[in-house]
Structure 1
């Protein structure tokens, strides 16, 4: 349980950092790319094994990290487009409700436990995510022409979680968790560098120390959000169909409270209902 709590805390810190990006005018794309290399460096620093980067391409989990690295960048881009076209609440709902994919993955592929309490908890968690994420009393409105973007964020985020579960279960040894997590970020960073090269060729690239500092601040909690999630999945205390919904709904709940405490964000009655349902869902899923 401690690893799950640390993963939730790390992911919630990421939310705070993103809010500070808006306040201090940090270029999100540049900071994200820097963050990937910082996360990679953190992974190498905590890895207990002798440093041998040449062995990474030969690991059975390496092809999977290539897929995950590409998905990290793709989902980030789609999330940015969705935010621009439909708003931040839509992105939040699409990202967190994608938990349905790894939950179904765990139940059907690994025959993880089900029961009335667990199913009820998962359903309440999905409702809680929606109610906690919306910031307008009239709910969320998406134009038909823009519907494809949150759908792609939904499936992309869900596939990322399911793929991490599959690789962690099938190929990743316990001693390789740090290196496995670091490699994902390194691949995403390399893809990001190619984007910056294209921007430089077009004459639109302007790198500032502020963006680099923002990436450094993000990279540390971002690495540990994945590292601790993998460790939670490996702990054996709970099924992945239990861990993923608790992780996602707790992040939404904690991020909401941090928004209130640190940034004075206002929440509507629907948000309070969502927070209440979130607490209930966590209790039901955990005790199921």
Structure 2
């Protein structure tokens, strides 16, 4: 349970860092690329064995790590486009409601239990995520861009599901650091390609502050994934429980921090969502 708690805290800290990047107008893409390489280095330092590239390439999970690396940076860009074209509300709801995908996968692929208590908790969790995420209208919804939130929904769900599947099927307990590092390294390399394209088009301007922001983001990002993987390995809880509590708690805690630190205003529906989130966590955990 302590791993799940740290995963929630680390994921929430990522929210704070992104807020600060935007507040101080630090180049987000450059910070993201620096973040991936920092996370990769953190994973290598955490790895207790000698890093052997040829051995890593031969690991059963290597192909999965490549796919996840592409998904990590691709879905981030989709998230940015969704926020720009459809608004923050659509983005938040699409990404967080995707928790239903790994939950369903866990129920069917691993024969996890679904009693009335857990079922009710999951339903309340989805309602809570929606109510907590909904803010004042920030953009006009355009049907032409409907594909963006759909891709974001499925992409975010596939990432969580893939992490669970690869971790369960191919990654040993002591292999989590190097597995995570490989994912981040691949995402970072893709980011370098994107920055190179910007440079060739004459649109690249180096922001040294992005390095510092990326380092802080990278360390936090690594531990959010590492702690989630460790929580998924714990036999006391099923993955459907882990993903429900993790996502709902992150939304709830991020919303409260937005209220207390960034002075964001909450509507009545947001407070109802927070209340339902607490109830759903209690139901799912006790189930």
Shorter-chain TM-score tier = over 0.9
Structure 2 residue 23 is the aligned partner of structure 1 residue 23? yes
Task: Give yes or no for contact 2:86–2:145 (8 Å, CA) kept in 1.
Answer: yes
Indicate the RMSD between aligned Cα atoms, in angstroms.
1.2
Structure 2 residue 117 is the aligned partner of structure 1 residue 117? yes
TM-score where L is the length of structure 1: 0.97
Q: Which one is further off, 141-150 or 274-283?
A: 141-150
In 2: Cα distance, 1:236 partner to 1:180 partner? 20
In 1: Cα distance, 2:281 partner to 2:234 partner? 18
SS in 2 for 1:205: coil
Unaligned segments of structure 2, at least 5 residues: none
Match of 2:217 in 1: 218
In 1: Cα distance, 2:221 partner to 2:236 partner? 24
Aligned pairs for 1:47-62 within 5 A: 47-62=47-62
Task: Give yes or no for contact 1:132–1:275 (8 Å, CA) kept in 2.
Answer: yes
In 1: Cα distance, 2:202 partner to 2:112 partner? 52
Write out per-residue CA displacement over residues 38-65 of structure 1, whole angstroms, 9 at most, x where no aligned residue.
Answer: 0001101111112223311110000000
In 2: Cα distance, 1:11 partner to 1:219 partner? 11
- Tell me the CA shift for residue 141 of structure 1: 6.4
Q: Which one is further off, 169-178 or 89-98?
A: 89-98
Match of 1:75 in 2: 75
In 1: Cα distance, 2:186 partner to 2:210 partner? 20
TM-score where L is the length of structure 2: 0.98
In 2: Cα distance, 1:275 partner to 1:142 partner? 25
SS in 1 for 2:127: helix
In 1: Cα distance, 2:134 partner to 2:255 partner? 11
SS in 1 for 2:49: coil
Unaligned segments of structure 1, at least 5 residues: none
- Tell me the CA shift for residue 201 of structure 1: 0.7
Write out per-residue CA displacement over residues 115-143 of structure 1, whole angstroms, 9 at most, x where no aligned residue.
Answer: 1010110011001001001112x799632
Task: Give yes or no for contact 1:168–1:230 (8 Å, CA) kept in 2.
Answer: yes
- Tell me the CA shift for residue 87 of structure 1: 1.3
Match of 1:43 in 2: 43
Count residues in correspondence: 287
SS in 2 for 1:231: helix
In 2: Cα distance, 1:68 partner to 1:220 partner? 18
Task: Give yes or no for contact 1:34–1:216 (8 Å, CA) kept in 2.
Answer: yes
